[in-house]
Amino acid sequence: MSETQPVRQYNQLIVTRAGRLLAITLNRPELLNAVNLEMLQELADVFIYAASDPHSDVVVLTGAGRAFSAGGDLEHIAGNAARPEQFEYEARLAKQIVYSMLDLEKPLICRLNGHAVGLGATLALMCDVIFAADTAKIGDPHVALGLVAGDGGAAIWPQRIGFGRAKEYLLTGDLLTAVKAQEIGLINHCVPVTELDTAVTAFCERMLKGATKAIRWTKVLINLELKRIVHSLLDTGLAYEGLSAHSSDHREGVRALQEKRKPVFGQPISPDRKTSQPDQ
């Protein structure tokens, strides 16, 4: 009967249900599912909805088209660079997204159909199990825009691959192939793109046939420590990202991306200058 039960409707997301499997699809394929304000608002709601949906036991997160998510929408980021006061509101949304993903007791499976960048990478990595197409890449290039990786990346990457590797990839912003990501444990499985749906479906069916309460409560138990870590870091991370959003380096990063060139960032911080103060 669950197929006939209505699901919540969104503008930037598609939510469908087949049996007791709920699928959430990021749906801006023409822009590689880049996240604008409306999608951010909907993401802050959809995992709360998924948790409360009595007709599903497993949730899949994926992207429409050829990408999972290119991260923040460039036009939206550029607008925020000119209006940094907007960041406070969006920081609250970012917190709600991450916390609601970690609070979701149902298994949350990522179907990484294409590139996952920045916030897109954070959305993928906050899932429980990640299946990626071998054509996909994943990375968090906040620093390439002169921004701190404060919206979850600095919290989740070390938990998946350790501090040394997390520092390497977050400080450079380099993208990893799905093959490399699986090799170092950042994701669970890298499969040929033609086999992605088969692999995801098989795992979801295994979860659906399992002991629902035991699976959910095991996830709750595992997530207790992860939630403690994320709760201890996220406010500070978003605060530092907010400071960096005021910087001339961030404005230069946005301009460089718009102009399709490499950014030329400013001089190093002098010894007598406090790192906590934004550029004038």
Residue 97's pLDDT band, with cuts at 50, 70 and 90, is very high
* pLDDT, average across residues 37-50: 98
Statement: residue 2 has pLDDT above 90: no
Query: Where exactly are the structural domains of the chain?
Result: 2-222
Statement: residue 170 has pLDDT above 80: yes
Q: Residue 54 in contact with residue 45, Cβ under 8 Å? A: no
Q: Residue 141 in contact with residue 262, Cβ under 8 Å? A: no
The pLDDT, as a whole number, for residue 191 is: 98
> CA–CA separation, 273 vs 149, rounded Å?
22
* pLDDT, average across residues 217-241: 97
Span 172-183, pLDDT tens digits: 999 999 999 999
Least confident of 154-168, 202-216, 258-272: 258-272
Which carries the bigger pLDDT value, residue 147 or residue 87? 147
Domain 2-222, CATH class in plain words: alpha beta
- pLDDT over 70 percentage in the chain: 92
pTM: 0.92
* Burial group, residue 13, by CB count within 10 angstroms (0-12, 13-18, 19+): buried
The pLDDT, as a whole number, for residue 60 is: 99
**Residue whose C-alpha is closest to residue 139's, from 127, 149, 129:** 149
- Inter-CA distances, 223 with 24, 80, 121, Å: 21, 32, 19
The strands making up 176-177's β-sheet, listed across from edge to edge, are: 116-117, 137-139, 176-177
